[in-house]
């Protein structure tokens, strides 16, 4: 399916409004992202995801969510069980590598199974950012840890688990949010580390997991790479680092373009991201005026470079299936019992 514009949009409420139906029919975005404001009950959410696919005429429409576990969970009990922040798997890794990797894989599979049952096909996780002493709390325990080995091992486990549960992962925040000392939702992080340091640390998890099908940028200013342009809008960052050095050839989406780390109006942000080499722009807040401003400058189809990457992603979405064996929740609960007692509530 190629008749879509390279954007992912949010919704205002629990159901599609007539204005949203008309807008999406006209703009034909690639996907939709959901937030807590769109969720009331399992029945309502499944009805919404079914309705979206019916209205779009695409039974494999990508429907995204941020469901990492811990504080980043748009779906909460009692709709779904509680899952730990990814950092807890990192703590377990220090004590028992094998148990930690298996717990991360199975926990991600169970989390994905919840999403699959509700019609959600893409999860914006895992974070492959390093958790360093200076790391902003916006990342904090969302990261697996401070060393590349741990982040790669657990990142791979979570990616595998999500796919086992029937959901495609999105690795984020490329090329690494760990050295940001401020929250990019509110201001632009400036990172002055030299290029060699970044290549030996922050960039490495993404390089070692560069076969991911979907990735998301972070809104970050790496002065050693591009002194002027934020990474999402930097040809040097996307072309030389993310596509070149890291070797990522999946679909690259921007982080939310309504975040305050970006300057300029919506048109400038969209144009900047796409010209720099993002395949897709993400706009999350569901504000219709902003979405219309985005749509005014969106191309009617993806770039020539993006098309084959999106075709691979669409093929993977069409083939998603949930394959979580019975008994997995019990095994996961046993692995996590000491470090995450809440895992027992889900048995």
- Residues annotated catalytic, as ranges: 185, 255
CB atoms within 10 A of CB 120: 25
Structure tokens at 215: 């990735």
Structure tokens at 59: 């039974």
Distance in angstroms (rounded) separating the CA atoms of residues 239 and 236: 5
Distance in angstroms (rounded) separating the CA atoms of residues 159 and 48: 26
Handedness of CA 159, 100, 172, 54 (dihedral sign): positive
Count of positions (residues) in the chain = 347
SS3 state of residue 256: strand
Structure tokens at 273: 């991201």
Which residues are CB-contacts of 166 (< 8 A; sequence separation ≥ 6)? 112, 113, 115, 116, 121, 320, 321, 322, 323
72-73 and 67-69 as β-strands: parallel, antiparallel, unpaired? Answer: antiparallel
């Amino acid at each position: 399916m190629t008749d879509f514009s390279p954007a992912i949009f949010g919704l205002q409420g629990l159901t599609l409004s007539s204005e949203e139906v008309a807008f999406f029919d006209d703009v034909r975005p690639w996907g939709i992202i959901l937030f807590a404001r769109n969720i009331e009950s399992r029945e309502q959410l499944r009805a919404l995801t079914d309705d979206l696919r019916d209205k779009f005429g695409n039974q494999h429409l990508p429907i995204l969510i941020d469901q990492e576990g811990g504080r980043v969970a748009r779906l909460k009990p009692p709709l779904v069980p509680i899952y730990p922040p990814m950092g807890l798997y990192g703590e377990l890794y220090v004590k028992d590598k094998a148990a930690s990797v298996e717990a991360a894989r199975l926990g991600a599979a169970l989390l994905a199974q919840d999403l699959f049952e509700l019609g959600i096909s893409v999860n914006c996780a895992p974070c492959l950012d390093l958790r360093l002493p200076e790391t902003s709390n916006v990342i904090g325990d969302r990261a697996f840890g401070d060393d590349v080995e741990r982040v790669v091992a657990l990142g791979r486990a979570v990616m595998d688990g999500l796919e086992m549960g029937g959901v495609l992962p999105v690795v984020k925040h490329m090329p690494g949010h760990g050295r940001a000392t401020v929250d990019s939702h509110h201001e632009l992080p400036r990172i002055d580390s030299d290029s060699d340091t970044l290549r030996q640390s922050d960039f490495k998890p993404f390089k070692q997991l560069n076969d991911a099908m979907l990735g998301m940028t972070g809104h970050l200013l790496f002065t050693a790479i591009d002194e002027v342009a934020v990474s999402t809008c930097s040809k040097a960052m996307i072309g030389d680092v993310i596509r070149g050095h890291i070797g990522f050839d999946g679909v690259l989406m921007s982080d939310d373009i309504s975040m305050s780390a970006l300057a300029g109006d919506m048109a400038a942000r969209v144009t900047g991201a796409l010209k720099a080499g993002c395949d897709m722009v993400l706009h999350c807040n569901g504000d219709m005026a902003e979405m219309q401003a985005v749509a005014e400058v969106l191309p009617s189809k993806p770039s020539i470079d993006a098309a084959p990457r999106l075709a691979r992603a669409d093929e993977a979405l069409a083939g998603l299936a949930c394959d979580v064996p019975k008994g997995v929740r019990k095994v996961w609960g046993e692995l996590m019992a000491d470090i995450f007692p809440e895992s027992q509530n889900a048995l």
